[in-house]
């Protein structure tokens, strides 16, 4: 059953993992019924802007889907709150970006003023059908952004970047799929901007939002009439841009039931003037209730004959959530040893065999930094740290290989540099390796990144059927010696 909040599920799953893994697990090299993961521990002062923070809540989409050239996660921002986890066909929570379902057009939406408001959870894509705005034969640069429930998306570059994000460049049509799922009733609006002709640092000519300037934005759906307006100074008309969507007999708009067209006037403030031609920017917005995962070499069509059957369920995403990260630069210090940012040293995590072939570690409060590095923050506990390990493994089809985490800290897991688990703000996820594009018998590397940033107890549990080979000297120079 899908959870009402990830916090509730985390508590439940963590308790289950603690029971499965054993209440106490020794941090020492084990025998045949244990495996040790060599790790690096990095301790941060509570005054670091990203640590000792109020919990950002469950979130996803704030790190890149690949590791950078030095094998570290990259903070990209643009994430969203996670109200309900994506689930695989067996009901296990998975990373939102892995969920894979057949696209189903969303036809139940209303147009209210300049907003499009879907009546079901949805995905959205936007296509630039055309843009035409000029003065005295000179094209004005045009940029735009999409806002969905407070989340701002800039499909083709920052709206402030008149040159880099310009869509009035003769290269249309162009399309962008917005990589998130939104709740029913979340309004969609679009803001467009035109610029003056300065070569550098051009000033804004007009900016119009469909949310607040609805007189300057027309929204069309299937069956609407196409405004019969002549293009200013012999420019292309609305009809020129939307002719593929006009019925030749009725002359009405013929759109798919999940489409809407936005027509912008960003060339004049006088709607009675001949320059008010409403084809300065013409956009097509398409709504779907599901989408397929972005495919790459590992996160791709499964290669195992035992790949899970049945459809995934998409996550329910909420408003924009940056994960409580102050900047990409500050985030870059989380998993890099730096004498000015953190104190670091080696550590190890031993997983004990709880059932045949399944290894686990669990605790109600993960505190490997106690009495180490910078020392305890308060009393007997040292919080505000990150934890990282990488291990190689051999893919084995149909053997039930999996990796599972549940806890109160941020976790990102990558295989061969590709994101496979995204647990911002804490939560739980399970990854069954048969759903990935792994070659049977080939060796791969799993990289695990954890951050504990809260002031209170933080449960932590790992469970896996995979044997990893980690090396104690694989993390470079440390900034401190462990006590």
- The 10s digit of each residue's pLDDT in 83-111 is 889 999 899 999 998 886 545 677 889 99
> Do residue 174 and residue 263 come from a single domain?
yes
- Domain residue limits at 64: 6-95+318-464
Q: Do residues 30 and 65 share a domain?
A: yes
Average of per-residue pLDDT across 245-265: 93
> Is residue 329 domain-shared with residue 408, that is, in the same domain?
yes
> Would you say residue 223 has pLDDT above 90?
yes
Nearest to 358 by CA among 401, 390, 312: 401
Instruction: Report pLDDT for 74.
Output: 95
- How many Å apart are CA 362 and CA 370, to the nearest integer? 17
In this prediction, residue 100 carries a pLDDT of 65
Residue 306 lies in a domain: no
Q: In this predicted structure, what is the pLDDT of residue 289?
A: 67
Which of 3-12, 159-168, 261-270, 343-352 shows the lowest mean pLDDT across its residues? 3-12
**Residue 319: closest CA among 53, 108, 58:** 58
Residue 349 to residue 476: CA distance in whole angstroms: 18
- Examine the fold and report which residue of 288, 308, 331 is the final residue of a domain before the chain moves on: 288
- 149 and 213 inside one domain: yes
Q: Are residues 391 and 438 in the same domain?
A: yes
The reported pLDDT for the residue numbered 394 is 97
Q: Are both 459 and 332 inside the same structural domain?
A: yes
The DSSP bridge pattern shows strands 93-94 and 86-87 to be antiparallel
Per-residue pLDDT band at 29 (split at 50, 70, 90): very low
Which of residues 381 and 126 earns the better pLDDT score? Answer: 126
250 located within any domain: yes
Cα–Cα distance measured from residue 336 to residue 72, given in angstroms and rounded to the nearest whole number = 8
In a domain, 313, yes or no: no
35, pLDDT greater than 90: yes
- Judge whether 482 lies within some domain: no
- Asked if pLDDT for residue 315 goes beyond 90, the answer is no
382 in a structural domain: yes
Please provide the average confidence, as pLDDT, over all residues in the chain: 85
Check pLDDT > 80 for residue 311. no
**C-alpha separations of 253 from 239, 245, 250, 260, 262 in Å:** 10, 6, 9, 10, 12
Query: What is the total count of domains within the chain?
Result: 2
Kindly state whether residues 243 and 359 are assigned to the same domain.
no
481 lies in some domain: no
Pair (329, 451) in one structural domain: yes
Q: How far, rounded to the nearest angstrom, does the alpha carbon of residue 295 sit from its chain's CA centroid? A: 14
Question: For residue 197, what pLDDT band results from cuts at 50, 70 and 90?
Answer: confident
When mean pLDDT is compared across 37-41, 157-161, 232-236, 417-421, the lowest value belongs to 232-236
In a domain, 336, yes or no: yes
* 342-379: pLDDT as tens digits: 999 999 999 999 899 999 999 999 999 888 888 876 67
Residue 306's CB is within 10 A of a number of other CB atoms, namely 14
- The verdict on 188 and 53 lying in the same domain is no
**CB contact at 8 A, 158 and 327:** no
Nearest-5° angle of CA 320, CA 204, CA 272? 105
Which strands, in side-by-side order, build the sheet including 343-355? 418-423, 410-415, 443-452, 385-394, 34-43, 343-355, 358-363, 460-464, 402-407, 427-432
Q: Which residue carries 């790949």 as its tokens?
A: 307
Predicted local distance difference test score (pLDDT) of residue 32:
55
Verify that 339 and 280 share a domain, yes or no.
Answer: no
Q: pLDDT per residue over 383-439, tens digit each?
A: 899 999 999 999 999 999 999 999 999 999 999 999 999 999 999 999 999 999 999
Q: Give the pLDDT of residue 340.
A: 86
What is the pLDDT at residue 375? 80
Assess if residue 76 is contained within a domain.
yes
CA-closest candidate to residue 277, choices 264, 287, 289: 264
Please state the rounded mean pLDDT for residues 123-141: 89
**Per-residue pLDDT for 318 more than 90?**
no
CA distance 263 to 278: 6
| Amino acid 447: pLDDT | 97
Same domain, 114 and 88: no
Residues 237, 119 within the same domain = yes
pLDDT band at 278 (very low <50, low <70, confident <90, very high): very high
């Amino acid at each position: 059953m899908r959870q009402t909040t990830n916090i509730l599920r985390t508590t439940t799953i963590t308790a289950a993992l603690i029971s499965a893994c054993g209440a106490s697990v020794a941090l020492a090299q084990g025998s045949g019924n244990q495996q040790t993961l060599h790790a690096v521990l990095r301790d941060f002062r509570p005054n670091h802007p990203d640590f000792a923070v109020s919990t950002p809540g469950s979130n996803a989409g704030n790190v890149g889907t690949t590791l950078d050239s030095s094998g570290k996660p990259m903070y990209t921002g643009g994430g969203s709150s996670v109200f309900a986890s994506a689930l695989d066909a067996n009901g296990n929570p998975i990373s939102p970006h892995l969920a894979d379902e057949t696209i189903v057009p969303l036809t139940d939406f209303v147009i209210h003023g300049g907003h499009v408001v879907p009546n079901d959870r949805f995905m959205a894509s936007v296509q630039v059908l055309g843009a035409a705005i000029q003065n005295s034969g000179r094209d004005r640069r045009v940029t735009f952004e999409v806002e969905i429930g407070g989340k701002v998306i800039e499909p083709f570059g920052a709206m402030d970047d008149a040159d880099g994000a310009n869509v009035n460049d003769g290269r249309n049509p162009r399309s962008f799929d917005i990589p998130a799922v939104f709740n029913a009733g979340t309004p969609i609006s679009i803001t467009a901007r035109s610029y003056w002709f300065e070569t550098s640092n051009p000033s804004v000519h007009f900016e119009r939002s469909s949310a607040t300037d609805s007189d300057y934005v027309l929204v069309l759906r299937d069956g609407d009439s196409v405004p019969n307006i002549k293009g200013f100074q012999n420019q292309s008309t609305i009809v020129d841009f939307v002719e593929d969507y006009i019925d030749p007999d009725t002359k009405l708009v013929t759109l798919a039931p999940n489409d809407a067209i936005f027509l912008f006037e960003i060339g004049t403030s006088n709607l009675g003037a001949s320059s008010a031609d409403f084809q300065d920017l013409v956009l097509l917005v398409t709504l779907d209730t599901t989408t397929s995962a972005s495919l790459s070499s590992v996160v791709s069509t499964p290669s195992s004959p035992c790949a899970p059957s049945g459809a995934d369920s998409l996550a329910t995403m909420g408003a924009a959530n940056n994960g409580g990260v102050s900047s990409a630069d500050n985030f870059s210090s989380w998993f890099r040893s730096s004498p000015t940012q953190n104190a670091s040293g080696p550590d190890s995590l031993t997983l004990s065999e709880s059932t045949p072939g399944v290894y686990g570690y669990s605790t109600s409060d993960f505190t490997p930094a106690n009495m180490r590095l910078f020392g305890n923050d308060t009393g007997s506990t040292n919080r505000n740290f990150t934890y990282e390990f990488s291990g190689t493994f051999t893919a084995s089809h149909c053997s039930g290989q999996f990796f599972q985490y549940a806890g109160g800290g941020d976790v990102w897991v990558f295989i061969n540099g590709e994101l496979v688990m995204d647990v911002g703000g804490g939560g739980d996820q399970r990854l069954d390796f048969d759903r990935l594009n792994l070659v049977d018998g080939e060796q791969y590397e799993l990289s695990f990144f954890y951050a504990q940033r809260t002031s209170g107890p933080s449960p932590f549990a790992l469970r896996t059927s995979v044997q990893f080979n980690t090396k104690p000297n694989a993390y470079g120079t440390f900034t401190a010696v462990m006590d």
